């Protein structure tokens, strides 16, 4: 084209490459930013409850329980009962608004019912391997999860 006619061939190629790179950079600057932080790490993951820290600081080894975050906002909570519902994650906040659809087992007194602790809005954070959920309205202070294998 006109550029190759006015410039030496090696300079025309470098100029064409530079213009292509600038166009790509300009287009990528216009695209929306990907989610960052813990909210971007949660979708599509399943976590196994390992420890509970009670409000008075006691650390308790957890009964078997899992929480699964689907990629499109679906939620599954498995403890004494099995529950499903929806969640939203933004920055470090996890919001699980009811109602959750749960089985209705007669759970013995003292049996963990994880769904009761994660309802509402909680703070999430990653601490190494752990996903820590800090429930706002619960008798526990922290729920520590590890990824399932």
For residue range 59-94, what is the model confidence (pLDDT) as tens digits?
988 889 999 999 899 999 999 999 999 999 998 999
pLDDT digits (tens, 9 = 90+) for 3-39: 444 545 555 444 444 444 444 333 334 433 344 568 8
Q: CA torsion, points 33, 147, 124, 91, in degrees to nearest 10?
A: 0
What does pTM read for this prediction?
0.71
In this prediction, residues 115-122 reach a mean pLDDT of: 90
- Residue 126: in which H helix or E strand, if any? strand 120-127
- Nearest CA to 96 among 118, 74, 65, 79? 118
- Show the beta-strand stretches assigned E in 32-87: 45-54, 59-61, 66-69, 74-78, 82-86
């Amino acid at each position: 084209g006109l550029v190759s006619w006015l410039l030496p061939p090696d300079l025309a190629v470098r100029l064409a490459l530079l213009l292509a790179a600038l166009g790509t950079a300009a287009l990528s600057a216009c695209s929306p930013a990907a989610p960052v932080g813990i909210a971007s790490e949660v979708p599509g993951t399943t976590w196994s409850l390992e420890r509970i820290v009670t409000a008075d600081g006691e650390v308790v080894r957890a009964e078997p329980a899992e929480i699964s975050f689907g990629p499109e906002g679906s939620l599954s909570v498995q403890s004494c009962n099995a529950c499903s519902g929806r969640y939203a994650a933004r920055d470090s906040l996890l919001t699980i608004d009811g109602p959750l659809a749960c089985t209705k087992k007669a759970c013995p007194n003292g049996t963990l019912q994880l769904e009761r602790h994660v309802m509402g809005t909680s703070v999430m954070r990653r601490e190494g391997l752990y996903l820590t959920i800090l429930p706002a309205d619960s008798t526990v202070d922290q729920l520590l999860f590890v990824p399932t294998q």
